[in-house]
Structure 1
């Protein structure tokens, strides 16, 4: 696949992320995401600048494996693609407060990605590691939590984030609890939705 020039990539990401922002991508079911990729490829405003470098099939792969894959991290304010979205998750502080309590705080420079995780400190000097993300990346969360336990972390939490107030199904939640039980991790489920960033002066 051809490497996109920086200005073309910038234009394509800006357009794709505007679509993702408008559709609230984190709430779009996996079964419906392919149709959005197809709509973008069919949209001349998106595809015409890309045609000298990518076929229609390659454009779809680029959207799926590059733009869409980076979008959740962009919502966390992580990575260069974060500049293209006008929305942002509340951040690690919100995860820590919703799970461990408002008297806990994120430990400086402890935030990591793939999956998102951080260390938190409590009022009595206790520490914990939290890994968070939607249910569809439970495998990644479990792997990160398992690694933390093997590394000697005493308190580890797996936090399943939800874009709305709707709870996980009983079967899904029991699955999370069962996996956490295997490694001595704490299961949490919290609502965690992006907010629109304040408008900036041009």
Structure 2
């Protein structure tokens, strides 16, 4: 059933839907025999909608990055942190083994001499990314890096980019914007 939710979410480009469009889709899923029909044996319609929103769909974006308990159900994924680090810092940089973690998604990167804290996420998570990087900035000698990940249909306005860049510069945090494409499975 979660596979079906994620399959449909992929087809809908879930992360690009408006709040209103998502609310309408939750109603459709409650009525869908492959989703709500399965859950109706255990929950009433209100609880079905709440469960869908708060469990699999809350984890959907993280699952596409290979994180969380629902990652096994994601059919489309982004390439891993190694690819992101290489694009952001260059081919000389790699992910420090066993340093990848989540909330926000982050790792340590090294060029063999220095280590840097790197965190990444969608534009709407910038506040969390900046806070995580700022906390690392006081604990590490190297400047942390925030990567704002973009994808087709998900962009940052020029005004928002200027604001985010200004905040990052003020806090001595490097910021980069990297476009990623989902690898459909």
Provide TM-score, normalisation by structure 1: 0.84
1:163 aligns with 2:135: no
Look up the match of 1:62.
51
What is the correspondence of 1:94-133 to structure 2 with a 5 Å cutoff? Answer: 94-123=83-112, 125-133=113-121
Kindly report structure 1 stretches of 4+ aligned residues shifted beyond 6 Å: none
Over the aligned positions, Cα root-mean-square deviation in angstroms equals 1.8
Alpha-carbon shift at residue 166 of structure 1 (Å)? 6.8
Residues in 2 aligned to 1:149 and 1:160: alpha-carbon distance in whole angstroms: 18
**Superposed CA offset, 1:153-195 (max 9, x none):** 5220111101128752111101211221232100110001220
Find 2:79's aligned residue among 90, 104, 107: 90
Task: Quote the Cα distance in structure 2 between the aligned partners of 1:112 and 1:150.
Answer: 19
Other-structure match for 1:139: 127
Q: How many residues align?
A: 185
For residues 16 and 98 of structure 1, do their structure 2 counterparts lie closer, same or farther at Cα, with a shift above 3 Å needed? same
Aligned position for 2:9:
20
SS in 1 for 2:35: helix
- Report the Cα distance in structure 1 between the residues aligned to 2:53 and 2:141, rounded to whole angstroms: 35
* Alpha-carbon displacement from aligned partner over 1:27-62 (angstroms, at most 9, x marks no partner): 334442222212111212211121132221211111
TM-score (normalizing by structure 2): 0.91
Residues 16 and 153, structure 2, Cα contact 8 Å, conserved in 1: no
Instruction: List gaps (5 residues or longer) in structure 2.
Output: none
Whole-Å Cα distance in 2 between the matches of residues 30 and 150 of structure 1?
37
Q: Is the 8 A contact 2:145 2:175 kept in 1?
A: yes
